[in-house]
Every structure is written in C-alpha cells, then in structure tokens.
Structure 1
Amino acid sequence: MLTGVRDAVFDETAINESIIRPAWDLLSRGGKRWRPVIMLLTYEALGGDPAEIADLSIVSELIHNGTLAIDDVEDNSDLRRGKPCIHKIYGVDIAINMGNTLYYLPLVQLMRTGKYSQDVIDKLTRVYIEEMLNLSIGQALDIAWHRSLSGPITEEMYLTMCRLKTGSLVRLAARMACSLANVSRSDEEKVTNFSDAVAVAFQIQDDILNIAGEEEVYGKEIGGDIKEGKRTLMVVYALRTLEKKDAERLEEILRMRTSDPQLIKEAISLIKKSGAVRYAENKARELVTNAWRDVEGIFLEGKAKELLRALTEFLITRKF
C-alpha cells in the first residue's frame, strides 16, 4: 500500500488498531452503498460492462465512510448506523486520522489498476481532486451556517451547498463512469446534472427523516440536525413562511445548539407547522423527475436503465 518510504519498519499492530480495525468497524455496519451502484449502473447504461470497473466502484464508498467518521466528530454525533460513532469507541484522534486515510486510500487503487491509459488515469485523478475539493467547500458552508457565521440562507444557497457536499461523491462516481465509457462532453454534462439532482434529493430525504423518521429504522438520532443548528431546506422554508414570532423562536432554538429533548421537539413542531416537510418531499421529487427526463434518451434501454430509475425512486422514499 505504502510507496515512497524506503527501508521503513512499521508497527503493524499500531496501524491495525488505529486505522484498519476502526475502518472495518464502520464499513461492516452496512449502509446503503448506493454510490458504487450509481457508477456501475451508469457505466452499463452507457454501454459498458460493469465487471470491467468493479475495482474502481469502491472509490466513492471508501471516501464516503471517511467523511462519515469526520462528520460525526464535527457534529458531535452519538450514533452511526445504529451503533456508537467511531470517535465514541476509538477516540477523536483515531477517527479523524482514519477518515483522512480513507480519503487517499482509493488513489492507490486508481494508480495501480494497470488497465487504463495514462490519459484516462489523468482524467480520473483530475475528477477525483475536483470533487474532493467540492466536498470540503460544501462542508465548510454547512459548518459556517450552523455556527451562524453568515447571514440568512436562501433555498438556492442550500441547494448549492448540497450539490457541493452531498453531490461530490455521487458526481465522482458518475463522472468516472462517463470517462471510462468515453461519452461525449454533452452527454457527460447531462449525466453529471442527473447525479447532482439525485444527490440533492437524497440529502433532502435524509433531512426529512432526521425530524420525521423512526430512530430504530433511521439508524441515527432523531432531531440531530436541530441539536447541531443545521440549516436544512425545511428550516429555510420554515423561517421564510412562519409567522414572525414562530420564525424567531425557531431561529432561537437552532442557535442554542441544544440537546434538550423538549426544545428539539418544539423546533420540529414549528418546522412541521410550516408545511416544510411536504414542501421538501415535493422538491426532491421535482429534482429527480426533471433530471431523469434529460438523461432518459442517453441511457440504453435495458436492465441498468430500469434499475437506475428504480434507485432514484428508492432514494426519495426510503425510511433509512
């Protein structure tokens, strides 16, 4: 795995305990793992054999799990996939370092695959770097907003943040599939826009579940976004449409970043009162419906296309 370090003597036990064991702990908990599926199905729907790129399909999933470990530290979360977060078990230092390792580990597979020309490797690497930067910028926006470091957030600003943060790894998967399938720039742009829409709709549904889901099914604490003071699409909508007194109260609770169950319940009640949940559900469906219309003629008829359509439907109706 390691290159560029000559005559190195490694403490394998230390590496196992501080990277490998916590990484496998998180990976073995399951998850939806839909980003690799997006890559494989997109490649097949564009005329490729998914078996050819199976080794690269794990790239987005490894990075995603790295982001989860670090996000949970930043958000001071308690649960991840129904179990204590990695930093709660192994410590903050191990969780952050393990997460950073998973950011870079996929590059080893990319560099060593030996199946593609240098031009293809260069393009895949460029896509990788661009989307990792997008991910960090999106996370920066999310953090700044829930720490009240900027002014009012509009719906358009929220959607942009989602495209950067949640969309980055879905775009990475889709863009890699397009590069490997050697599609035209026009078709790649449409597929990329489709992956953007799917990612944003996925995030909107995640936000909905965080205040209206069942914790046992969802696998994370209900109301966690309220505790973190997050500006979700529903919060943006509620603050815009509630009566002034209610909007000010919701803003007040969000700024507290409270763990008080009663205050969290009150905030959720105000959000629901505004009709924000239904608004968010409709927005998610609108996004994927419009995006699918643009790519429907690009994807070849067959099982992969059918499964992509079914996957987008699942992502906006799921309960976990």
Structure 2
Amino acid sequence: MASSSTSHHHRSSSSSLQPKSIPPRTSSSGSHNHSSSLTQSPPPPAPATTSTADHDSRSILKTVSEGDWLSSRQPPPLAPPSPLSSPNLARMPHAPEPNTTLPGLWSPPYKVSGITATAAPPPPPPPPTGDNDPNRFRDYDLNFGPGRSWSSDNERIVRGPYDYVVSHPGKDFRAQLISAFNAWLDVDPESLSVITRVVGMLHESSLLVDDVQDSSELRRGFPVAHHVFGVAQTINAANYMYFDALRELQALDGTPPSGSGSGSGSAGAGVAVATFAEELANLHRGQGMDLYWRDTLTCPSEDDYLDMVGNKTAGLFRLGVKLMQQRSREPEPRTDCVPLINLIGLIFQIRDDYMNLSSSEYSSNKGLCEDLTEGKFSFPVIHSIRADPANRELINILKQKTSDVQVKRYAVCRMEATGSFQYTRSVLAVLIERARRTAVEIDRGRGKLAGILKILDKMSIE
C-alpha cells in the first residue's frame, strides 16, 4: 500500500509540473484572416497585465491566432535603394553598412547612423586665363619659323650625339687632304672653309650611323654615342646634321667665289647641292652592300669590294674635291683631281682594314679586331677565305660575331697562314706608288705636290 501511495503521489507531482499551453494572442480588433505572410517583423511585445484573478475568463481581448495577428501589421516604409543595391545584396541576412570613413568609396547620399548626408558639390573651376584659356588659339600666331620656335637650347639637345663624337676628335685626315689639294685648286678662303666644314660634318655624322649599324662599343677610345644618348636620338642627330650640311652648301651655291680674273670658278647655281646628292647616294650604296654581305654571310670578290669602297669611303673624299674644283680660281684648263682622290680613298679603306686586325693602337681605340666581332668582310678576310675555299673556319668565326679574344686571335693566325696580311701590304704598296705617279702628273712640274706626297708617305705600311 505504501508503494502504491508513493507511486500515485509521484504521478500527481509530475502532472502538476507539466507546462501549461500558451494561450493564443488576442486583439481588440477581433479575428483576422490567417492567410497573411509570416515574413514581416514581429510587433513590439504587448504590455503585461497585472491582474492575477480569472485571467483566462475575464480578458476583454479577443483571442486570435498568431498568423492572423501578424497579418494585421502594416509594412514599414521602404528606405531609398542604396547605390550598391542588387538582388544578391537584398537577399543577404545582414547587408553591410557603408564605410563612411573612406572618402570617395561610396557615392553620396549615404547613411550615417540613420541620417542621410549629402556631399557638397565641388567648387566651380576658376575662369580660364592666360595659357589655360582655349580662346587664345583664335588669334594664336601659327607661322612657325626657326627664329620664333627654335632656341639654342633646342639646337644643343638635337645635336647632342654629334657634338659628343666631335668632342673626341680624330686625326682630321679629310681636312689635311683638302688643304693639300688646295695647293693646286686655289679655292677662296671663305668657300674652302665651308667645304671643309661640310665634309667634316658628313664624316662625323656617318660615324654615328656606322657605330649603330656595326654594334660598336668604342669610338676613338670612348663609348660610342648611341651608348650615351640612345640609338634613336643618335640616328636623328646624324640625319639632322646631313641636312645642316646641305644648308651650308645651299648658301655656297648662292654666292660667287671670291677672286679676280676670268679664272674664277664658274659653277652654276645648284651644282654644289647636286654634287652633294650624288655622293651621299654613293655613300649609302656602298654602305648598303657592305651591310648586305655581312648580314647574309656572303663573301664578295675583290672587284666587288673595290666598287663598294669606291662608293662608301671614296665618296666623301670625292665630294670635297669636286666642290673645290667648282670653286677653283685656277686658270683653264683646270686640274682634274678625281682620279687621285679615288686612289686615296681606296688606299685609306684597305689600310684601315689591315690596321683593325693588326694594330695595337686600333685595339685601344676601337677594340681588338673589332671587324671580326662585327662579322665584316674586310680586305684581308676576303683574301683569306678565297685563298682556301674548302676551309670554313674563318667564315664560321665571322658568323658567330664573337667577342672571345682567343677565337679572334685564332682567326688572325688563320689569315697569317693564308698570307693575307702580306698580300694586303703588297697591294697597299702598289696603290700608293700609283697614287704618287698620278700626283706627279697632276702637278705638271709646278712644285705643289708636297702636301699630297706627305700624306701618301704616312699611309705606307712597312
């Protein structure tokens, strides 16, 4: 019995501890339709009642279901869409608030703690004045000219690479030649000065281009201009100086040579410019063939080589002498010095090829055997390759364009083995002797050939 009583008491206690069901919510407005959406935010909690007696039976509020009660809520007014609003952003449970601490990150208006703030518009730009006024172009002087738009500073900038190479002078061989030939041609000092200057300008400008095309490192013991100023500026300076030289010759064409007597130069207007164009074209023809042989690894014949040198190297020598003959005050018949200057141009280039491969002075000023690094078919190289066509060693070394000292020394030994250096010295001796005879014929016993003979003696190789 005790056990049964205890069990009954336990069940009664457990029953009394069961939670009571939550009564449905009520509303003073009566029942509501249960079909409303359940997605609206819940209303604020209703005020709690303080009555403790007969709560369920004496309530003045009607009982409604929770769904009906929620359907009676009016939706809050919608805020204006954010500039960054999108369907994806709207579905996010917690969209981030704009970061108003970073100016410019959000476009105004933006919300700061429930307050809409609008950024102030930028101040209006100041009225245009002076160079900022576009109306100034209505009357702007567009008649550009050297005196108006070109300054000495601009000239210095454009001529920079040219002035750089001129600041490291060579032996001035061309000026010496002009002076020696003037003993026969007797050009007035003013014209002679222009001719000397023009030939020098063209020579120095051509060196700028040569160094770029040959990928040279040194010129007269100094870094080449395009390593200092860049390739583009260097080429532009060279071309600019070609036209600067042309302007000098135009001025020369416009003035008669000073002097007296019927022997004064009688060249017609424009002859100097025509000679300039002819020999500059020859220079580029010769240079073009030289580059073609190098870049296609084509070994020319000696005859082809002589034609190339006659255009490339002798062209500037010939230009100077032709201009001098046009301005000569020598009595008729005038001396034709072109055959002699052609010989001198040929001697000069063959000697330069020889010295490039054998002279320590050339090695210091331009680099050891630079012609081999360039891949150039110089006179000794052509002879060596053609002396032993079956041996491909030398032509393959040219193909490599090597800077390796040991490889270049081996190439020199190869040329010595084929007798190419001895052959080159012999050819130079023959040509120099021929030039001496030609000088004697031109002089005709006047005793004015000392300067030319001195130059030829310096060009001899023992």
Comparing 44-53 with 69-78, which one deviates more in the overlay? Answer: 44-53
Q: Label 1:286 to 1:51 Cα distance change in 2 as closer, same or farther (>3 A).
A: farther
Identity of aligned residues (%): 25
Matching of residue 211 in structure 1 with residue 357 in structure 2: yes
- Work out the CA distance in 1 between the residues paired with 2:195 and 2:185: 17
Deviation of 1:274 (Å): 1.4
1:10 aligns to what? 150
Aligned to 2:327, the other structure's residue is in SS state helix
- Work out the CA distance in 2 between the residues paired with 1:7 and 1:263: 56
Deviation of 1:185 (Å): 8.5
- Work out the CA distance in 2 between the residues paired with 1:35 and 1:26: 16
- Work out the CA distance in 2 between the residues paired with 1:238 and 1:194: 28
2:241 aligns to what? 102
- Work out the CA distance in 2 between the residues paired with 1:179 and 1:311: 23
- Work out the CA distance in 1 between the residues paired with 2:415 and 2:158: 41
Matching of residue 255 in structure 1 with residue 394 in structure 2: no
1:228 aligns to what? 374
Report if the CA contact (8 A) 1:45-1:300 is conserved: no
Name the aligned partner's letter for residue 166 of structure 1.
T
- 1:242 is aligned, of 388, 411, 431, to 388
| Between structures 1 and 2, the one with greater helix share | 1
Deviation of 1:283 (Å): 1.1
Name the aligned partner's letter for residue 145 of structure 1.
W
2:250 aligns to what? 111
Matching of residue 199 in structure 1 with residue 345 in structure 2: yes
1:314 aligns to what? 458
Report if the CA contact (8 A) 1:187-1:298 is conserved: yes
- 1:137 is aligned, of 285, 304, 312, to 285
Q: How many residues align?
A: 310
1:79 aligns to what? 218
Report if the CA contact (8 A) 2:310-2:346 is conserved: yes
Deviation of 1:270 (Å): 0.8
Name the aligned partner's letter for residue 167 of structure 1.
A
1:269 aligns to what? 413
Name the aligned partner's letter for residue 147 of structure 1.
D
Deviation of 1:213 (Å): 0.5
- Work out the CA distance in 2 between the residues paired with 1:185 and 1:227: 49
Matching of residue 28 in structure 1 with residue 167 in structure 2: yes
Name the aligned partner's letter for residue 22 of structure 1.
P
- Work out the CA distance in 2 between the residues paired with 1:45 and 1:300: 10
Which string of whole-angstrom CA distances, capped at 9 and with x for unpartnered residues, describes residues 252-311 of structure 1? 111122222222222122112211112112212212321332342322656751011111
Q: Label 1:300 to 1:102 Cα distance change in 2 as closer, same or farther (>3 A).
A: farther
2:40 aligns to what? none
Report the TM-score, using the length of structure 1 for normalisation: 0.87
1:90 aligns to what? 229
Q: Label 1:58 to 1:12 Cα distance change in 2 as closer, same or farther (>3 A).
A: closer
Q: Label 1:143 to 1:280 Cα distance change in 2 as closer, same or farther (>3 A).
A: same
Q: Label 1:216 to 1:71 Cα distance change in 2 as closer, same or farther (>3 A).
A: closer
Work out which of the two has the higher radius of gyration on C-alpha atoms and give 1 or 2.
Answer: 2
Report if the CA contact (8 A) 1:137-1:165 is conserved: yes
Report if the CA contact (8 A) 2:379-2:424 is conserved: yes
Which string of whole-angstrom CA distances, capped at 9 and with x for unpartnered residues, describes residues 67-126 of structure 1? 001100011100001100000111111111111122121222222245427944422221
- Work out the CA distance in 2 between the residues paired with 1:186 and 1:143: 37
Report if the CA contact (8 A) 1:46-1:300 is conserved: no
1:296 aligns to what? 440
Deviation of 1:220 (Å): 1.1
Deviation of 1:52 (Å): 5.2
Comparing 233-242 with 103-112, which one deviates more in the overlay? Answer: 103-112
- Work out the CA distance in 1 between the residues paired with 2:403 and 2:192: 45
Comparing 290-299 with 218-227, which one deviates more in the overlay? Answer: 290-299
Aligned to 2:171, the other structure's residue is in SS state coil
Q: Label 1:142 to 1:261 Cα distance change in 2 as closer, same or farther (>3 A).
A: same
Q: Label 1:46 to 1:218 Cα distance change in 2 as closer, same or farther (>3 A).
A: farther
Q: Label 1:304 to 1:105 Cα distance change in 2 as closer, same or farther (>3 A).
A: farther
Matching of residue 173 in structure 1 with residue 320 in structure 2: yes
Q: Label 1:18 to 1:288 Cα distance change in 2 as closer, same or farther (>3 A).
A: same
1:161 aligns to what? 308
Q: Label 1:303 to 1:23 Cα distance change in 2 as closer, same or farther (>3 A).
A: farther
Deviation of 1:130 (Å): 0.6
- Work out the CA distance in 1 between the residues paired with 2:188 and 2:149: 41
Query: Structure with the greater relative contact order (CA < 8 A, sep ≥ 6): 1 or 2?
Result: 1
- Work out the CA distance in 2 between the residues paired with 1:121 and 1:223: 46
Unaligned runs of 5+ in 1: none
Report if the CA contact (8 A) 1:120-1:180 is conserved: no
